[in-house]
Amino acid sequence: MARRLLLVHAHPDDESISTGATMAHYAAQGAQVTLVTCTLGEEGEIYVPELALLAAAEADQLGGYRVAELRAACTALGVADVRFLGGAGRYRDSGMMGLPTNDNPRAFWRADLDEAAGYLVEVMRETRPQVMITYDEHGFYGHPDHIQAHRVAMRAAELARAEGVGPQKIYFLAMPKSVLEAGLHAFADSVGNPFEGVESADDFPFGTADDQIAARIDGTEQHDAKVVALKAHATQIPDSSWLYALAGDFGNEFMGVEYFTLALGERGPGDGPNGWESDLFAGIAADEPAPAEAGSR
């Protein structure tokens, strides 16, 4: 079966943090992996001092710089088909919920749903993904652009499925509460505990009961690729980031294992822990050959 995976993310770096191992895992297997990012991340903080004047309140050039960071990250992951929803710069980073940046006329949060979904349907017509990954209705942790990416992706899938070109399975990013609890215990007595003040997994704005998890993708062999991808997003992820601290303590499993819930489609056979799927394409029958490989957008 020609495997085709579509990921819909809100900002550059979201793809590497939450799905980098999965992207690299399937790219290494020869699957067609297409990434659609909805904004340029113009409102992000900048952790590289010499680039501070690129910020939105200064020269407002961060978005263009992050395009290059995204492409470098995806190169590290082995993913060549990198696109922006409606073209680079169509929609602007909305900033965190409740900020004045939400009201910018170009903010993704304000985007017309059907218009934005239409741009994504165009991608689906071309790539015909069997599997799509995006955020849940809460945007995983509540960022307006993540919530809007969910809405756009689900509307586009609905429209594309009516044409026979939509995904057969849709997954949402997830983090099992058991994994969060394990992290809390592991760091309880550590210096610089990134979870200081958090007493249980229920205190996080995200976390999914283990029995609601559908898939666990073991991409530990792609650990190094994911680290390189994260480092490509240098303006957003400093070398002192807690991500690298956790990776140092938990190693390949922290960076290389990613979890998902199944939002649409039939769950396939699972051979992983708790009966979770170990392959997002489980249960999908062979189909027509993949379309001609798409280039970078």
pLDDT at 16: 97
For residue 208, what is the DSSP state?
Answer: B
Quick: pLDDT tens for 229-268.
999 999 999 998 877 766 655 556 778 999 999 999 999 9
Query: In which element (H, E) is residue 131 found?
Result: strand 131-134
> What is the average pLDDT score of the chain?
90
Total residue count of the chain as it appears in this document: 297
Whether residue 296 is predicted with pLDDT greater than 50 in this model: the reply is no
Above 80 in pLDDT, residue 93? yes
Residue 197 is predicted with a pLDDT of: 64
Range of the domain at 195: 4-275
- Across the beta sheet with 131-134, what order do the strands follow? 81-84, 32-37, 4-9, 131-134, 169-174, 257-264, 215-218
169 lies in some domain: yes
At 151, is the pLDDT very low, low, confident or very high (cuts 50, 70, 90)?
Answer: very high
- Calculate mean pLDDT across residues 191-216: 73
In this structure, what CATH number is given to the domain that contains residue 47?
3.40.50.10320
Residue scoring higher pLDDT (71 or 198) = 71
Is 172 a member of any domain?
Answer: yes
pLDDT at 292 over 60: no
Domains held by the chain: number: 1
What is the per-residue pLDDT for 180?
80
In a domain, 283, yes or no: no
3-state secondary structure of 132: strand
Choose among 81, 92, 101, 97: nearest CA to 32: 81
Residue 195: strand pairing partners:
none
Q: Is residue 203 part of a domain?
A: yes
Q: What is the pLDDT of residue 203?
A: 65
Give the torsion through C-alpha atoms of 214, 218, 219, 220, to 10 deg: 150
Residue 83, SS3 per DSSP: strand
Residue 287 one-letter amino acid: D
118, burial (CB in 10 Å: exposed 0-12, middle 13-18, buried 19+): middle
Query: Is the confidence at residue 6, as pLDDT, over 80?
Result: yes
Quick check: is 42 in a domain? Answer: yes
Question: Is residue 10 in some structural domain?
Answer: yes
Whether 297 has a pLDDT exceeding 50, the answer reads: yes
What pLDDT, in 10s, does the model give residues 154-193?
Answer: 999 999 999 999 999 999 999 998 888 776 766 655 545 5
What burial class does residue 41 get, using C-beta atoms within 10 Å of its C-beta: 0-12 exposed, 13-18 middle, 19+ buried? buried
- Residues 113-122 have a mean pLDDT of 98
pTM of this structure: 0.92
Examine the pLDDT at 49 and tell me if it is beyond 50: yes
User: What pLDDT, on the 0 to 100 scale, is given for residue 289?
Assistant: 46
- Close Cβ partners of 122 (under 8 Å, ≥ 6 residues apart): none
pLDDT of 285 reads: 81
291 falls within a domain: no
Give domain status of residue 209, yes or no. yes
What's the average model confidence in pLDDT over 55-67? 98
Q: How confident is the model at residue 207, as a pLDDT? A: 82
